[in-house]
Amino acid sequence: GGGCSGGPVTSNQIVIKAAGYDYGNFYVTPTAATSACYEAKSSAVWDPAAFENVFISGTTLTKIQGGNAWDGGAASFNKVSNNGYLQFTATETNTYRMIGLSNTNPDGSYLTIQYAIYLLNNGNVNVYESGTNRGNFGTYATNDIFKVSVENGVVKYYQNGNLFYISAVAPTLPLLADVSIYTPGGTVTNLIVSNPVTDTFTATASNVGGSPTYQWKLNGANVGANSPTYVNASLPDGAVVTCEITPGHPNCSSTVYTAINSVTVSSLPAPANVDFYITASNSPSACNTGTEQVVWQIGSLNNVERSGNNLTKIQSGGWDGGAASFNTVKDNGYMEFTATEVDRARMVGLSTTNTDNNYTSIQYAVYVRNDANYFVYESGVNRGNFGTYVAGDKFRIAVDNGLVKYYRNGTLFYISTIAPTLPLLVDVSIRDVGGTVTNAVVSNLITSTFTATATNVGSNPVYQWKLNGANVGSNSTTYVNASLANNDVVTCEITPDLGSCSATIYTSNSVTVNSIPAPTNVDFYIQSSASASACKTGTEQVSWRYASLGNNMVRNGNNLTKFQGGNAWDGGAASFNTVSNNGFMQFTATETTTNRMIGLSTTNADANYTTIQYAVYLINGGNVQIYESGNFRGTFGTYSTSDIFKITVESNVVKYYRNGVLFYISTVTPTLPLLVDVSFNTVGSTINNVLVSNIITDTFTATATNLGSSPTYQWKLNGA
């Protein structure tokens, strides 16, 4: 224009450099798997849009302004899935902040953090869930590591690896890291998000143009293709995965950005949601037992933590510390556990199903109380106090030919009157925090087959059976061995069929095989063939019919004891052996302080004395009477300890003897043969050395039950 001919005018300058990258817009996430052999850890990738009064520097998030208020907020892009966790380090102990997990991030307040660890400025630790205080859980120090995990759909809280609270609120997954800081200067340090992974990683980037270029890195070396995903099913332990990106904008061909986070992959000791256990195939009658370490169902655990075949209640007072086993007790099997402490209340027992966590649903329970007393409870009903226990005592609940029996250190102390519906699982309810169940085992009669059961291990896992630590069997869910020896130990190893699991091996519980002197449900006895007239007698030790003993009697050879039932005529038993014409039954009187009747009957109608056709009545105090079918025949003096009583059939007439002296002849003609028939009134009553003798010829017969189709017999004469 006019007057401008003096020369050119120079503008400001623009310097061209590689552009920096907006924080948080390029990051890597692994694809979470519910079950896997590896976990993928990544530093938190914070969403800049969620920042409120905070600043990120390296791996530390700091509240920089806003005053003392719950307005220092942040949330992550990366998320925790099932069986994953969030972890962070406590740096200072003098500020207020809450760090946890939420399904969404509505605001910067602690009230919207669904699962939060609250670090107070006085060194205390609390848990808050959606603004609700769940309690104080002790103190913390600088460098303590806190973790909030999701384990099989349950949120759990840890401090330095120690579980201190289990949430009762089911999460809606996945969950992002959610932070609210109250105090200016408050920090969140080294926050990590970890999830189980198989083989897939995804790069997320914004504002990089329509066709960016991706370069994946494994331990710093180029891998993969130009793709937002990277797949590797053979990752080594400790592998570090990251990604570089070249934006698809003009003039960006030589510009490379590295994702702000890396993902470190490491092997897991065991996938969190894998249940892997072995059981031995049961037989109602066998010569070996298989004793299995109990495996607790993950889904049954409530307020308790499992460690092998042990349990510990970690929180919440009340009968809500529940668990149940995969293993089950069959007929002639048992469950056993060790009482470790004497100052915690818990019930351990057997049930057909695991209805809930309360003791009232345990059908057969030993109640070890916090005052060192022990009781029996059945479906919530108190069956009585049975004394005291000490640390290290072993309790057993057995099913013996359809009867549930309770033992302490091998001594029977109660027989249930409730018939079980088999099989029965181990069912637990712990009241007191710190209460434990230790070394729980299940034992059953077994034959030769073992079965492995596993969940969440993929479609084609690899099985390796072990016998005493050595490889046996084939790649199969079953192992068969009909030549097991006493104390053999069977286990199984499994390699899951999941990504990156080829070198991962998990070991099952063990099954220890033991031989037994005789199956508990075998009745085995011999009899001589009776003859009305012969030159020899055969005197047999009486064999008591197991089914006749009921709930109140215990047999030991040819002896009997009334074990329980109160002072009533309900202690019954009957023999396999029978008395024929010109034979007899004989027994020894042990005590003079109980009431019991012992005699002969054609059949064993019930446990009451009124059905014994020919009975000697030994009375508390030392008197002797005769009762026949409940009819009093008279008093016949007194008796002493070790007196021998005999009831004979002589030419079809029943006669009664004491120490070889006849004292009564019956007027009732017997219907032969006659079995030995017993009714005890007093708890503690006994009958000893019961014998049956008949005139015999030359034939002896062995009778046995539950010995299989072709047992082997070996007769003995004078031991040879």
pLDDT digits (tens, 9 = 90+) for 231-249: 998 888 899 999 999 988 8
Q: Which residue has the tokens 């351990």?
A: 348
Mean pLDDT of the 205-212 span: 87
Q: Reply yes or no: is the peptide bond before residue 461 cis, omega within 30 of 0.
A: no
pLDDT digits (tens, 9 = 90+) for 522-531: 778 888 888 7
pLDDT digits (tens, 9 = 90+) for 642-694: 999 999 999 999 999 999 999 999 999 999 999 999 999 999 999 999 999 99
Mean pLDDT of the 115-126 span: 98
Architecture of domain 523-705: Sandwich (2.60)
pLDDT digits (tens, 9 = 90+) for 340-357: 999 999 999 999 999 999
Domain-by-domain residue ranges, the chain?
Answer: 37-197, 198-267, 275-446, 523-705
CB 574 within 8 A of CB 599: no
Q: Is the alpha carbon torsion for 288, 291, 292, 296 positive or negative?
A: positive
The radius of gyration of the chain's CA atoms, rounded to the nearest angstrom, is 38
pLDDT the model gives residue 708: 75
What the block records as the tokens of 619 is 């009375």
pLDDT the model gives residue 249: 83
- Distance from C-alpha of 679 to C-alpha of 615, rounded to nearest angstrom: 9
Q: What CA–CA distances, in Å, run from 584 to 540, 580, 676? A: 10, 8, 10
Give the lowest-confidence range in 154-158, 360-364, 479-483, 548-552.
548-552
pLDDT the model gives residue 2: 57
Instruction: Tell me, yes or no, if the two domains 37-197 and 275-446 fold the same way.
Output: yes
What the block records as the tokens of 212 is 């960016």
**pLDDT band for position 706 (cuts 50, 70, 90):** confident
107-127 burial, b if ≥16 CB within 10 A, otherwise e?
A: ebbbebbbbbbbbbeeeebbb
C-beta atoms surrounding 340 within 10 Å: 17
Mean pLDDT of the 34-43 span: 87
Q: How many helices (H) and strands (E) does the chain have?
A: 0, 57
Identify the CA nearest to 489 among candidates 508, 462, 458, 467.
Answer: 467
- Distance from C-alpha of 526 to C-alpha of 576, rounded to nearest angstrom: 10
Identify the CA nearest to 550 among candidates 517, 581, 573, 516.
Answer: 573
Q: Residues of the chain with pLDDT > 90: what percent?
A: 80
pLDDT the model gives residue 353: 97
Length of the chain in residues, anyone? Answer: 720
Q: Across-strand partners of 119? A: 97, 125
**pLDDT band for position 272 (cuts 50, 70, 90):** low
Q: Which long-range contacts (CB under 8 A, 24 or more apart) does 402-406 make?
A: 402/331, 403/551, 404/350, 404/364, 406/364, 406/366, 406/376
pLDDT digits (tens, 9 = 90+) for 277-304: 999 999 877 889 999 999 999 889 999 9
CATH 2.60.120.920 fits 275-446, yes or no: yes
Q: Which is the CATH superfamily of the domain at 37-197?
A: SPRY domain (2.60.120.920)
CB 433 within 8 A of CB 316: yes
pLDDT the model gives residue 6: 63
